[in-house]
Amino acid sequence: MSIEKGRAFFRAQGIEDRVQEFEVSSATVELAAEALGVEPARIAKTLSFKSSDGCLLVVAAGDARINNQKFKEKFGMKAKMLTADEVLELVGHAVGGVCPFGIYDCVPVYIDKSVLRFTTVFPAVGSSSSAIELTPDELYKFSAALEWVDVCKLPEDEQ
């Protein structure tokens, strides 16, 4: 999805004015946090995994990492990331701009509870130099998420 499609998606929601574009890349959590001037944990990263039906997306806080055991318990399979080519083909976005908005209808989206620690988070909007500030509830609503999940671990869990 291009930034134009991302803007169109949020225009239909009445919040296109909240879409931010940058002169610099925001393709990674660190770059996005730097471009926005926020802590990396507030970046809502979208992770793309293989599934028996093709793929699924998990949106998590920027500092969260997949907990393989929790992932397997929830989804009944090992967490295996898509390749860059598979992401574009199955999700409809290029790596660096993957987000849960304007994706193919058959792609299930899950939001990890790690984002609930924040009043607002910043997912991408379809390009490697864009973001939008959303509450966790808005993220859930606009992504058409199927459910909240607990499949990640936070840095404090690893100590």
Q: What pLDDT, on a 0 to 100 scale, did the predictor assign at position 142?
A: 97
Taking only the tens place, the pLDDT of each residue in 53-72 is: 899 999 999 999 999 999 99
Per-residue pLDDT, 144: 95
- Helix then strand then coil, % of the chain, to nearest 5: 35, 25, 40
Cβ–Cβ under 8 Å, residues 45 and 95: no
Give the model's pLDDT for residue 38: 98
Q: What is the pLDDT of residue 128?
A: 92
Q: Which two tokens stand for residue 113?
A: 């509870």
Q: Delimit the domains of the chain by residue range.
A: 3-149
Tokens of 148: 């909240």
Contact between residue 53 and residue 75 where contact means Cβ atoms under 8 Å apart: no
Please give the pLDDT value at position 159: 62
Report which of 39, 92, 89, 71 is spatially closest to residue 149, judged by C-alpha positions. 71
> What pLDDT shows up at residue 13?
95
Task: List the structure tokens of 120.
Answer: 């607002």
Q: What is the pLDDT of residue 61?
A: 98
The class (CATH top level) of 3-149 is alpha beta
- Give the residues of the chain that fall short of pLDDT 50: none
Specify the pLDDT at position 102.
Answer: 85
With beta carbons less than 8 A apart as the criterion, state whether 49 and 58 touch. yes
